[in-house]
Amino acid sequence: TGEVEAVAVLLDRGANLEAKDTSGLSALIWAARTGEVEAMAVLLDRGANLEAKDTSGLSALIWAARTGEVEAMAVLLDRGANLEAKDTSGLSALIWAARTGEVEAVAVLLDRGADLETKDKGGRTAFLLAAVDGSVEAVTMLLDHGADLEAKDAEGITA
């Protein structure tokens, strides 16, 4: 596609592979959050940092999960992305996918072995945040995979 060719040309002409915008988004993160898997492949083949994070600590995988870009998630995971990476608030890709109701992303992450009981800095699991945010499908899927129905956050609050 045109975007992929443009990425290749820019890189061939010396564009900085790791340049970031004011939010800390690299080209790889932009491609992941918008599902541009071919552009992602070019960037990764050229050595883009798989674990680069934006100013809020979100990696390309977390962004892809948060926006439901499951093909992008698969590319990143196949290339070795850290399944358990967390942002500055302690939210993992699974927590983000669950709280935004991206059920397909939740399924991919669970199938790849994401830690169901990982907690953010407030002690909240993906299940707790999905319940608070009203994502019934995500709550059901997490429970079906063994999420702790009695889980409590750091303040002792349950779903």
Q: Residue 157 above 70 pLDDT?
A: yes
* pLDDT grade for 11, boundaries at 50, 70 and 90: low
Residue 64 pLDDT: 98
Q: What HEC string does 128-151 produce?
A: HHHHHCCCHHHHHHHHHCCCCCCC
CB 29 within 8 A of CB 59: yes
Q: Could you tell me the domains of the chain?
A: 1-82 (1.25.40.20), 86-159 (1.25.40.20)
pLDDT, tens digit, for every residue of 49-69? 999 999 999 999 999 999 999
User: pLDDT tens digits, residue range 91-137?
Assistant: 999 999 999 999 999 999 999 999 999 999 999 999 999 999 989 99
What pLDDT band is residue 7 in, cutting at 50, 70 and 90?
confident
pLDDT of 104 reads 98
Q: What pLDDT does 142 receive? A: 97
Cα(107)–Cα(104) distance, rounded to whole angstroms?
A: 5
Tally of CA atoms within 13 A in the half-sphere of 129 that contains its CB: 27
* Backbone phi, psi, residue 29, to 5°: -65, -45
Judge whether residue 2 has pLDDT over 70.
Answer: no
